[in-house]
Amino acid sequence: MIDRQTFREAVEEVIIRDYNENRKCLEGIKFFTNLSNDQKDIIASALVTQKFYKNQIIIQEGDPGSSLYYIKEGMSSVFKGNKFIRKLTKGDSFGEQSLYYNTMRQLTIKADDEVTCLVLGRDTLNRVLNDKIYDVTFKNFIKWAFEKNPLIGKLSKAQTEKVIEAMKISSFKANEVIFRKGVAGFQKIVVIIEGSLKKLKNGTIVASKGQCWGE
């Protein structure tokens, strides 16, 4: 037998321990960098722990995607079709694009050994952030594009934040001119969220999704 109070204390101890571990893990996920401490606290309590066995498929290419995964323990392999891409280990996360769009999985992730993941669904994130989810994901997308750019990536953190705050979303139709050679009024820096930029003369693609142009 076990009395009610002892049972409650035992359960609460486990909950608090798991919450503290999850909260610490959140600090290592780039996607959540721009969230407030209060928002991170709420998300930490909403994370779900899932375990996968050796050779088990964690996500399958072509399946609908709606969750972000953070590897808490273990190692997994990434495949595109039958082609091996890379390894993922403790501290790595994947599935961020599913928090932007309800897209199909672009890669397959398979557990190399026993893998423990923290999982956050898009619906949960929407419930926590409400109307701020678009702002958070937009800023993160730009920040990742900046980090990959050899020139803009040299900006300090404060400079990057200020530039991102000044940016806005614009939409363009197919073949609409965004940059015009030799015209000062067309000078700008863009980050491609969807689609691609091409040279009007020969159709050569100069920037695609997740890349900067005009720097």
Q: What ranges do the domains of the chain cover? A: 4-132, 136-213
36: pLDDT strictly greater than 80: no
The whole-chain average pLDDT of the chain stands at 83
Can you say whether the dihedral through the CA atoms of 169, 214, 144, 97 is positive or negative? Answer: positive
Residue range 52-77: mean pLDDT, rounded: 89
- Number of helical H runs and strand E runs in the chain: 6, 12
- pLDDT in the model for residue 112: 94
Residue with tokens 């980090």: 147
- pLDDT in the model for residue 3: 93
Residue with tokens 């994130």: 125
Q: Assign 85 a pLDDT band (cuts: 50, 70, 90).
A: confident
pTM above 0.85, yes or no: no
CATH code linked to domain 4-132: 2.60.120.10
Q: Assign 99 a pLDDT band (cuts: 50, 70, 90).
A: low
Residue with the larger pLDDT of the pair 98 and 205: 205
Cα(112)–Cα(23) distance, integer angstroms: 26
